[in-house]
Amino acid sequence: MTADGGPELVQLLTPEGERVHHPDYDVELTPDQLRGLYRDLVLVRRVDAEATALQRQGELGLWAQCVGQEAAQVGSGRALAPGDFAFPTYREHGVAWSRGVQPLQLLGLFRGVTNGGWDPHEHNMALYTIVIGDQTLHAVGYAMGMQRDGDDSAVICYFGDGASSQGDVNEAFVFSAVYNAPVVFFCQNNQWAISEPLERQTRIPLYRRADGFGFPGVRVDGNDVLAVLAVTQAALAAAREGQGPTLIEAFTYRMGAHTTSDDPTRYRVAADLEAWKLKDPIERLKVYLARNGWAGHEWFAEIEAEAEALAVDLRRGCREMPEPEKTSMFDHVYAEPHALVDEERAQFEAYHASFVGGGH
């Protein structure tokens, strides 16, 4: 498999920041919209870096970095219409950003003070899913529900290259295809599933898997926010128009570790990281903006300052996050009262009450 994504890669902005055109996909954006995307990318990266630092300081139990994948996430997230619904894995911080989830809300789960972090219906984005591939089935079920309700919105579902080997994902592909569900499968192929390289997941490019299930697959440059936006918009439009699912493979690279518990220097070649740094999603958009005179030194500095202010807020907010009520983990297991959950809650309360002073 080619390291550069091969000739089938849809690209609209080269790593050198040059605008190119593609016969099937395009976007026309105003300078203001382009600056908006750049701001998104920079702020998401800053949130990611700050969360990593907070983990290192013991404020978070774990963090899954998205550095390098910002364009895949922001491009696809910004392609969504307000009524669309997103199903993430645990690394979709840029998607959450584009859905209006506050960065601090992302941290609660990783700090261990909440089982979720936000109201899925407020943002049309499900909670993070740690179990690999699970959310693909939730997404297809949700999309089939929308279809039956006559809702003309679409669902987008995120997962990784490693997840593509899971049974759940394959079942989701089958169901979505035969029921023509309005769902876009968005696979961020970041080349690694922890220490397992892509070649242990597949012998063909991942996007071509869609062929076997009977729906279209497309490989997009995941570090090119414009191409991701164009391809995702087209796939969502097709889903809304009743054409069923599409598999998008965003060809990208996880520049950070799998999580803060992982050490990629044990299995990854340093030269690969250096090569991918040259394809950085933020740098290419910066060059494009600067070269066209749509943004200058002062504006870039303002965005940096905004990113710093956001990081300060995040730091403070993280440390001030309240401890949860001891029994709050039982509150949302089922929508309605459930005898077993009631029993477990009572046992838990009795256990805590058994300590001297009734404390913990």
Return the range that interacts with ligand TPP (CB under 6 A); candidates 10-18, 30-38, 128-136, 169-177. Answer: 128-136
Q: What x/- string results for residues 297 through 316 when contact with ligand TPP is judged by CB under 6 A?
A: --------------------
Amino acid of residue 278: L
Q: Pick one of 176, 190, 233, 246: the residue that binds ligand TPP (CB under 6 A).
A: 190
CB of 132 or CB of 235, closer to ligand TPP: 132
> Can you tell me which residue has the tokens 């979720």?
116
Residue 209 binds to ligand TPP (criterion: CB under 6 A) = no
Rounded Cα distance between 155 and 153, Å, is 7
Tell me how far, at minimum, the Cβ of 66 lies from ligand TPP, in Å. 9
Residues near 119 by beta carbon (within 8 Å), at least 6 away in sequence = none
3-state SS class at 217: strand
Tell me how far, at minimum, the Cβ of 68 lies from ligand TPP, in Å. 11
Extract the runs of DSSP E, i.e. beta strands, from the chain.
Answer: 85-87, 155-160, 183-189, 192-193, 196-197, 217-221, 246-251
Residue 157 binds to ligand TPP (criterion: CB under 6 A) = no
Give the DSSP letter string of 27-74: ----HHHHHHHHHHHHHHHHHHHHHHHHHHTTSSS-----TT-HHHHH
Residue 162 binds to ligand TPP (criterion: CB under 6 A) = yes
CB 27 within 8 A of CB 229: yes
Tell me how far, at minimum, the Cβ of 172 lies from ligand TPP, in Å. 14
Residue 260 binds to ligand TPP (criterion: CB under 6 A) = no
Within 312-351, the residues that bind ligand TPP by CB under 6 A are none
Catalytic residue among 253, 254, 284, 288: 254
| DSSP single-letter state for residue 188 | E
CA-CA distances (angstroms) from residue 359 to 269, 313, 326?
51, 32, 11
Return the range that interacts with ligand TPP (CB under 6 A); candidates 41-49, 52-60, 185-193, 220-228. Answer: 185-193
Return the range that interacts with ligand TPP (CB under 6 A); candidates 28-36, 176-184, 192-200, 304-312. Answer: 192-200
Residue 94 binds to ligand TPP (criterion: CB under 6 A) = no
Residue 262 binds to ligand TPP (criterion: CB under 6 A) = no
Burial of 214 (C-beta count, 10 Å sphere; 0-12/13-18/19+): middle
Burial of 160 (C-beta count, 10 Å sphere; 0-12/13-18/19+): buried
Residue 249 binds to ligand TPP (criterion: CB under 6 A) = no
Rounded Cα distance between 188 and 170, Å, is 16
Q: Is 258 a catalytic residue?
A: yes
Return the range that interacts with ligand TPP (CB under 6 A); candidates 46-54, 93-101, 129-137, 210-218. Answer: 129-137
Return the range that interacts with ligand TPP (CB under 6 A); candidates 23-31, 36-44, 54-62, 127-135. Answer: 127-135
Q: Pick one of 111, 219, 258, 279: the residue that binds ligand TPP (CB under 6 A).
A: 258
Tell me how far, at minimum, the Cβ of 12 lies from ligand TPP, in Å. 24
Residue 93 binds to ligand TPP (criterion: CB under 6 A) = no
Query: How would you classify the pairing of strands 196-197 and 192-193?
Result: antiparallel
CB of 132 or CB of 177, closer to ligand TPP: 132
Residue 91 binds to ligand TPP (criterion: CB under 6 A) = yes
Rounded Cα distance between 185 and 158, Å, is 6
Torsion, CA 152, CA 155, CA 156, CA 161, rounded to 10: -130
Q: Is 267 a catalytic residue?
A: yes
Catalytic residues: 254, 258, 267
Kindly list the residues in this chain that would bind ligand TPP in the complex (CB under 6 A). 91, 130-132, 159-163, 190, 192-194, 254, 258
